[in-house]
């Protein structure tokens, strides 16, 4: 029997015996789907072109509840009230890397980011986004994500499906200048294992939370991508045995 199946059974006998078999089966099934999902991602992205990022910089007086640009097409030639250009191309924003911008203003002010995404035909792709504070996202004028309290930037915090239309699509993002600094993350090709893991978390929130604690350093996606890592599996099993030992002695087992 696979050592990870042992882990699942041992863990869930303590936490949730009813779900033991279904959770372990789902984990194994998802691992087998990784190759297929990776190939599908590559195929979908092969007809997608991500345009460059543009940014407004901090906008004075804006609030999180304002919708300054979301309900109208973005005009990259628009001017501010003082006659200066509103939008500027941002070469420093790289996909898959955290982007940090610093500003003289120490106020809490909204910043808009914009890029075009082109595809040869109707398409659906998954992207990941994160920001240090608040984050809101629109695709072709439709709000697809709102997160007011981000509590620090964590890569791949939000996995979002983009339903792309044939031709040019407009992606608009609002983040905030927070006392002179703004952090942002975007990836157009997130690890497919993360997509699988999000589905598992939705179906098995308690069990998934326990596994995330055991693999806090590597991330749960490591189990999908590093099949032959005996050290990783031994660490997981040791953690479960320790928990079972505490439970046997009358100790509390936390979800």
Contacts from 148-153 at CB under 8 Å and sequence distance 24+?
148/64, 153/98, 153/183, 153/184, 153/185
Provide the pLDDT for residue 233: 64
Burial label for 225, CB within 10 Å (0-12, 13-18, 19+), is middle
Provide the pLDDT for residue 211: 77
**pTM, whole model, 2 decimals?**
0.77
| DSSP helix, strand, coil percent of the chain (3-state; round to 5) | 35, 30, 35
Provide the pLDDT for residue 1: 41
Provide the pLDDT for residue 243: 53
List the pLDDT tens digit at each of the 255 positions of the chain: 454 555 555 555 555 544 555 777 777 788 888 888 899 999 999 999 999 999 988 887 666 666 555 546 788 998 888 888 989 999 889 999 988 887 766 677 888 999 999 999 999 999 999 888 788 899 998 999 988 765 666 777 888 999 999 999 999 999 886 666 788 999 999 988 888 888 888 888 877 787 777 777 777 777 777 666 666 666 666 665 565 555 455 554 454
Domains along the sequence of the chain with CATH: 3-40+204-244 (no CATH), 52-190 (2.60.120)
**Angstrom distance (rounded) from CA 46 to CA 41:** 9
Helix axes 205-214, 192-203, angle to 10 degrees: 130
Provide the pLDDT for residue 123: 94
């Amino acid at each position: 029997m696979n050592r990870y199946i042992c882990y699942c059974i041992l863990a869930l006998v303590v936490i949730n015996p009813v779900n033991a078999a279904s959770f372990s089966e789902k984990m194994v099934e998802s691992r087998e789907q990784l190759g297929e999902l990776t190939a599908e991602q590559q195929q979908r992205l092969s007809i997608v072109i991500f345009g460059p990022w543009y940014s407004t910089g901090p906008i004075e007086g804006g609030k999180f509840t304002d919708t300054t640009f979301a309900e109208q097409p973005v005009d990259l030639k628009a001017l501010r009230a003082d006659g200066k250009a509103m939008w500027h191309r941002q070469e420093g924003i790289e996909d898959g890397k955290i982007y940090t911008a610093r500003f003289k203003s120490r106020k809490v002010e909204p910043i808009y980011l914009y890029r075009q995404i082109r595809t040869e035909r109707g398409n659906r792709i998954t992207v990941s986004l994160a920001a240090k504070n608040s984050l809101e996202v629109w695709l072709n004028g439709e709000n697809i994500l709102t997160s007011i309290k981000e509590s620090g930037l964590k890569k791949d915090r939000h996995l979002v499906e983009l339903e792309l239309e044939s031709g040019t699509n407009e992606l608009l993002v609002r983040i905030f200048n927070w006392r002179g600094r703004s952090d942002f993350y975007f990836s157009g090709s997130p690890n497919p294992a993360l997509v699988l893991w999000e589905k598992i978390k939705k179906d098995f929130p308690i069990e998934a939370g326990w596994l995330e604690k055991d693999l806090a350093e590597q991330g749960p996606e490591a189990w999908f991508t590093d099949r032959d890592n005996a050290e990783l599996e031994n660490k997981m099993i040791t953690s479960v045995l320790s928990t079972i030992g505490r439970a046997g002695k009358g100790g509390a087992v936390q979800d």
